[in-house]
Amino acid sequence: MPEDDRADREGVGTRSEWEAAFAVLAPVIDLVTPMAVRVAASLRLADLMTEGPVPVAELARRSGTDADALGRLLRHLVCKGIFTEPEHGAFAVNEPAALLAASHPSGMRRRLDLDGFGGRMDLAFTGLAYTVRTGEPAWETVFGIPLWRYLAENEEIGESFDAMMASGDDYVADAVRGYDWSSVRHVVDVGGGTGAFLAGVLGTDPGMRGTLVDLPETVDRARRHLADKGLERRCAVVAGSFFDPLPPGGDVYVLRRVVHDWGDEDAVRILRRCAEAATRGRTIGSDGKSGRVLVIETPSGSAGNPATLAEMDLRMLVFCGGRERATDGDDPADPGDYAPIIARAGLDLTGVHRTPLGHVVLDCVPGAGTGS
């Protein structure tokens, strides 16, 4: 078919052709329902119906919404199996809708809230075409400034981000148990957020000290969290960037869920800063060895799930130019895609540890000539 004829015919077909195509693509192209669910979560509708069916006018009053528009939203969700309409114009929570309650342990409401970091992550994908055309993160085109600056300048979203990163006590505990801390006297948590992981590490030994490094807006929240845990006397909190020189003297420098936020060049820079700090001003650590660098990640492609890895890899690119790196080869001691950046940063890999919940702990020491 000539090119002009093909262009003229594009989008012009029979109804049966459209229906056949829609039947194939429908499960992956619907944007109406995903956004409707997020709006319901953002409005806390499940929490406003805890005592049974609520007339839509009353529900609109409670949620500060337009009754007609709210009713249309809920009827669509009812048709999709979320919420029920036991009597005309009155809506109630069913089992799927209960997952959106703020009290539900899954934390789904927070992750879907369009006013929080979870929802903003989803909205960033409206700029996906920009990312694919340029290779650059879409976040700035959607929200006006890069991700990390956006978090710094929007306190509520920054707090929402910190809460998401610290969520899951079992997951934090699993990461802590992924390394033997018995010979460590001083641990430095680089990009440590509000200190949930560091608090867990310090809980393994009352004689251990810690230092947390993160951006100024985050360390203020970290100080409060560590004080609530009774750790303020054992923990220094330092405001700074991990692209700048880090506090020296630690036995172990930890990068937990940090490296995947960055492309290869920036990841190498961060790892080099850790290697430099681990050797600065001394030749050995308190355990008789050079300071160590631990990279702790949660590789989404583990357990034979390449689809999850592919999705998370795209997410990291859209948000901040990061990259998921696979570590799920046949050899459990293989660092996979982390090997090149570890070597380029001047680190020698000494061990790979895997945890029951899927963390991978890459245990590294600075190579010869590292440091200042």
Helix (H) or strand (E) holding 85, with range, is strand 84-87
Q: What pLDDT score was predicted for residue 285?
A: 41
CATH class, range 168-366: alpha beta
Q: What pLDDT score was predicted for residue 208?
A: 97
Helix axes 155-166, 216-228, angle to 10 degrees: 50
Per-residue pLDDT of the chain (372 residues; tens, 9 = 90+): 454 454 445 656 788 888 888 889 888 889 999 999 999 999 999 999 999 999 999 999 999 999 999 999 999 999 999 999 999 999 999 999 999 999 998 889 999 999 999 999 999 999 999 999 999 999 999 999 999 999 989 989 988 998 887 767 888 999 999 999 999 999 999 999 999 999 999 999 999 999 999 999 889 889 999 999 999 999 999 999 999 999 998 999 999 999 999 999 999 999 999 999 999 755 444 444 568 999 999 865 444 577 888 899 999 999 999 999 887 655 666 788 899 999 999 999 999 998 998 889 999 999 865 554
List Cα–Cα distances, 42 to 20, 112, 267, in angstroms. Answer: 35, 7, 34
Q: What pLDDT score was predicted for residue 245?
A: 96
Q: What pLDDT score was predicted for residue 302?
A: 47
Q: What pLDDT score was predicted for residue 286?
A: 41
Residue positions counted in the chain = 372
Q: What pLDDT score was predicted for residue 298?
A: 81
So where are the chain's domains? Answer: 15-113, 119-165, 168-366
- Output the CATH code of domain 119-165: 1.10.287.1350
Q: What pLDDT score was predicted for residue 326?
A: 81
Helix axes 67-79, 32-42, angle to 10 degrees: 120
Pick one of 3.40.1280.10, 3.40.50.10210, 1.10.10.10, 1.20.120.450 as the CATH number of 15-113: 1.10.10.10
Assess contact for 340 and 271: CB atoms under 8 A: no
pTM beyond 0.85? no
Query: Which residue numbers are catalytic?
Result: 260
- What does the angle CA 53 – CA 56 – CA 62 come to, to the nearest 5 degrees? 90
Pairing of strands 347-354, 360-366: antiparallel
Coil vs helix vs strand at 237: strand
Helix (H) or strand (E) holding 210, with range, is strand 209-214
